[in-house]
Amino acid sequence: MKRLFNVCMAVLFVIGAVATVQAADNLVLATGGTAGTYYPFGGAMAKIWNSKIKDMNVTAQTSGASGENVRLINKKEVELALVQSDTLDFAFNAKEAFKEPLKGMSAIAVLYPEVVQVVVAADGPIKSFADLKGKKVGVGAPGSGTEANYRQLMDAYGMKKEDVNGQYLSFSESAEAFKDKHIDAFVVTGAVPTSAIMDVATQNAIRILPIADDIAAKLTQKYPFLAAVKVPANSYKGQTADVPTVAVNAVLIAGSQLKDDMVYNLTKALFDNQADLAAAHAKGKELNSQFAVKGVSIPYHPGAVKYYKEKGLMK
């Protein structure tokens, strides 16, 4: 009997251990390519969550960025993702490349502005976006937010698809192709500075093309998720003046199936430890709870809403 008792206790111990392991919240955060901002910024957020929330295990995963990320979330292949605000609008309302509405997602927070940056050689003949006619241009990965912004610019400038030889490349692929002179320009929608552009600027004199005020006004009227901004002077080597352009927002989203208390804890930990995030990544300095509740067109997750209501940021 004693032996049987010991065996039973051992089995119960193993079951309890397994249950403890399974009790941990294992989540995947879809980010972007390694040459962009999403991946390192996502890694910095995951580190905070894992260290500040009991039994939390978030893994930052590389991906094809915004377009892929909303699909991964809606297929429940990941639980969290970083996505441009315009791509969210397109996916939720079945616009652009999205043929059916994707509604299985909710916003947690707007994180920081993502700036549309068109890079060319400083000593080359391309002085404006209209000069890209007949040129080879890296326009972002297929279905990405960057590619959508490129098409919006083409529309605003009255240009047709065939006017430009578009190359559907990731940020890192565009950077390498530009350095090798295989393309004449490339488009990046991302944080300022973006590592892919910084990498190019260390070896090549570059220019960020300005978006004229009248074009910016046309863009922001037609696409209300865009806003007129400037790339600050000295963001990149050799860029000595502010450059006018437009921007969208980087948004943290969750699968709508995530429990309210889990998303509340993720939201709270993010803002309670904003100083740690700022120390880990420069864009963390731009995280602001008041900014976090503006500039996104899809519903917020109830768990995030609970946090913002506690802070008086939502009614």
Q: What is the mean pLDDT of residues 41-46?
A: 97
CA angle 5, 8, 13 (to 5 degrees): 125
Place of tokens 């976090």: 292
For each of the domains in the chain, give its residue range(s) and CATH number, in order of start.
25-112+251-310 (3.40.190.10), 115-248 (3.40.190.10)
Q: What is the mean pLDDT of residues 170-175?
A: 94
Residue 215 contacts residue 156 (beta carbons within 8 Å): yes
Please give the mean pLDDT across all residues of the chain: 90
How much is the pLDDT for 295? 81
Q: What are the pLDDT digits (tens) for 71-102?
A: 999 999 999 999 999 899 999 999 888 999 99
* Residues facing residue 81 across a β-bridge: 30, 253
Indicate whether 179 pLDDT > 70. yes
Indicate whether 143 pLDDT > 70. yes
* Burial of residue 271 (number of CB atoms within 10 Å: 0-12, 13-18, 19+): middle
The answer to whether the peptide bond before residue 101 is cis (omega within 30 degrees of 0) is no
Query: Which of 298, 293, 285 has its CA nearest to residue 310?
Result: 293
